[in-house]
Amino acid sequence: MTISRSGPRWFAAFNVRLPAPPVAVATRAQRRRGAAGMGLGVEVIQRPSSRSACGGPRSVPKSHVQVAAQRADAQHHPTKALAIQFAQVVIENLKVKNMSKSAKGTLEEPGSNVRQKAGLNRASLDVGFGEVRRQLAYETGWYGSGLSAVRSGHTSQTCHRCGHVDSKFRRTRSVCVCTAWAPGAVTTPR
């Protein structure tokens, strides 16, 4: 048994040996709905509050525990919904380590937009792309659906109906216009 503490809460963990569960198979409803794609973006879940705003140093660990719980909840709900509803879930094969490299450069060749890149790195690591992928792998296996990762290049510029790649495909976050198969036809991203 392992006893641990996270902020003001205590946890006890122990192992139990159980027989292997039967292999889960996609339900009829999942097969009827087919596949769904999940694009991972950077959104602020919650900004950690400062010491003075949350009442002094004793409440800082509690606020970090609350932020961690909110982050885990925000990752768990959409991944579970996708795993339950669809027979196949497709995500981008993101290389988080490469995405979050520093832009500061060297002394001879200093980088540009270093502060903006640092903010983007912080936000993308805060979202937890790796944890979302881990949860999807676990939950799709649990609910009988499949998980596949596609190459992440041009996924936001590719029409899901015809496969045409155009840099002007995504007009706004929720409006996509494919110029190849029907000029001016509006589609919604998957």
Let me know whether 36 and 100 are in one domain: yes
96-121 residue pLDDT tens: 777 777 777 766 777 777 787 787 77
Could you tell me the two tokens for 117? 């890149």
Q: Are residues 106 and 176 located together in one domain of the fold?
A: no
- Based on the fold, state whether residues 88 and 146 are members of the same structural domain: yes
pTM of the model: 0.62
Same domain, 138 and 171: no
Q: Tell me whether residue 179 is in a domain.
A: yes
Dist CA 68 CA 122 (whole Å): 15
End-to-end CA distance of the chain: 44
pLDDT in the model for residue 174: 67
Residues with Cβ within 8 Å of 34's Cβ and at least 6 positions away in sequence, in order, are 86, 87, 88
Domain that holds residue 181: 161-190
Mean local confidence (pLDDT), 123-128: 74
Q: Is residue 90 part of a domain?
A: yes
Q: Would you place residue 122 in the very low, low, confident or very high pLDDT band (cuts 50, 70, 90)?
A: confident
Between residues 150 and 12, the one the model is more confident about:
12
pLDDT value at residue 173 = 66
